[in-house]
Amino acid sequence: MTVEALQVPAYRTFAVRVSRLRRLSPSFLRVTFTGPDLGDCAPNGWDQRIKVLLPLAGRGVSDCPTGADWYAEWRALPAERRNPIRTYTVRAARPEAREIDVDFVLHGATGPASAWAEQAAVEDEVALVGPNARFPGPTGGFEWRPPADASCLLVAGDETAVPAICAIVESLPAGQPARVLLEVPTTADVLPVAAPAGVEVTWLPRRTAETAAPPAHGALLTAAVVRAVQELPGRARPSPQAALDDVDVDAGILWEVPADEAVGRATSGPYAWLAGEAGMVKPLRRHLVQEAGLDRGSVAFMGYWRQGKPSN
């Protein structure tokens, strides 16, 4: 790699503005961003992560970093001039039109991102940090990398994972057996998704017309995953697995994905991808690996957020 190539960052800042807003449901708002440089943003699809830098009162995004080491620049700013940062998934990207869609989960003014989205208007300015198409190597920032010959896919998550899961589902080849489970706040939050043949999508709304009191967050998804894993084709008889490292989801980040050497390898078993609230993901991680006996190298578990804690 040349010296010039090494100077090209894998991720860079993009100045963008809101071009369209579409309320998908009570809990989901699709924001379409546009910007002059978004043709150089290279989302890989699937569960591609980006950073959204939100405007500050009276300063907007004028202090957002623009250099190659954007995070160091951001950290070096006085606290009162650091734009709030939140991580989101690209729902769709259209580089030729210089557009990116990001679906926001709305939950009132309980955090800077939801508070911003509740009041968002066309022409509002933000900054995005995303993968740089000019970078000569892989940029990363996504975890959807199933083994080459998985017998079946199990994809599950709560509302924070819905945009990533919908993008994953729409990328699957026809005929690929897959079980997809999505827990959402209400029946009105069930969204259309173009699932190819062989993919079974199940929505699990916590509040329905028949629900007197909604179940706890994650309860429906947990039960559905436990049932689904028993029915996955190609699942071997459970065998003893090495003990999992304990993760304190209140102090650390629950994020375990297959090692690079496992990516692309052939396997006759299922592959699982699970994301959402960390307190829900942690026991499911233990169940799928230690009790259901899934190969630890064929599972990805991600705590996108922790109930009661701010997340980046």
Provide the pLDDT confidence category of residue 253 given band limits of 50, 70 and 90: confident
pLDDT at 12: 96
CATH 2.40.30.10 fits 3-131, yes or no: yes
Q: DSSP state, 102? A: E
**Residue 183, CB-side half-sphere exposure with 13 Å CA sphere:** 22
Number of neighbours of residue 86 by Cβ within 10 angstroms: 19
Please give the average per-residue pLDDT across 57-83, as a whole number: 95
Provide the pLDDT confidence category of residue 295 given band limits of 50, 70 and 90: confident
Tokens in use for 298? 């064929």
Does residue 3 have a pLDDT over 90? Answer: no
CA gap 43, 50 in Å, rounded: 9
Instruction: Report the DSSP beta bridge partners of residue 85.
Output: 53
What contacts 189, CB < 8 A, 6 or more positions away? 25, 26, 27, 28, 159, 203, 205
- Which comes out higher in pLDDT, residue 49 or 312? 49
CA gap 239, 170 in Å, rounded: 33
pTM of the predicted model as reported, rounded to 2 decimal places: 0.92
Does residue 73 have a pLDDT over 80? Answer: yes
pLDDT at 305: 92
> In degrees rounded to 5, what are phi and psi of residue 167?
-65, -40
Q: Where in the chain is the domain with CATH 3.40.50.80?
A: 153-305
CA gap 291, 238 in Å, rounded: 7
CA gap 108, 178 in Å, rounded: 34
Residue 57, judged by CB atoms within 10 A of its CB (0-12, 13-18, 19+), counts as exposed
Does residue 267 have a pLDDT over 60? Answer: no
Per DSSP bridges, beta strands 125-131 and 11-23 are: antiparallel
pLDDT at 213: 87
User: Three-class SS of residue 239?
Assistant: coil
The CATH number for 153-305, chosen from 1.10.3470.10, 2.40.110.10, 3.40.50.2300, 3.40.50.80, is 3.40.50.80
Please give the average per-residue pLDDT across 158-182, as a whole number: 96
Q: Is the dihedral of CA 267, 282, 92, 13 positive or negative?
A: negative
- Which comes out higher in pLDDT, residue 292 or 309? 292
Q: Where in the chain is the domain with CATH 2.40.30.10?
A: 3-131
Please give the average per-residue pLDDT across 280-300, as a whole number: 90
Q: Measure Cα distances from 165 to 21, 78, 110 in Å.
A: 21, 37, 24
CA gap 64, 309 in Å, rounded: 24
Contact, 18 vs 124, CB < 8 A?
yes
CA gap 86, 129 in Å, rounded: 10
CA gap 214, 207 in Å, rounded: 5
Provide the pLDDT confidence category of residue 209 given band limits of 50, 70 and 90: confident
Contact, 304 vs 273, CB < 8 A?
no
As a dihedral over the C-alpha atoms of residue 252, residue 254, residue 260, residue 262, rounded to 10 degrees, the angle is 140
What contacts 263, CB < 8 A, 6 or more positions away? 145, 147
Does residue 294 have a pLDDT over 90? Answer: no
User: Average pLDDT over the chain, rounded to whole?
Assistant: 90
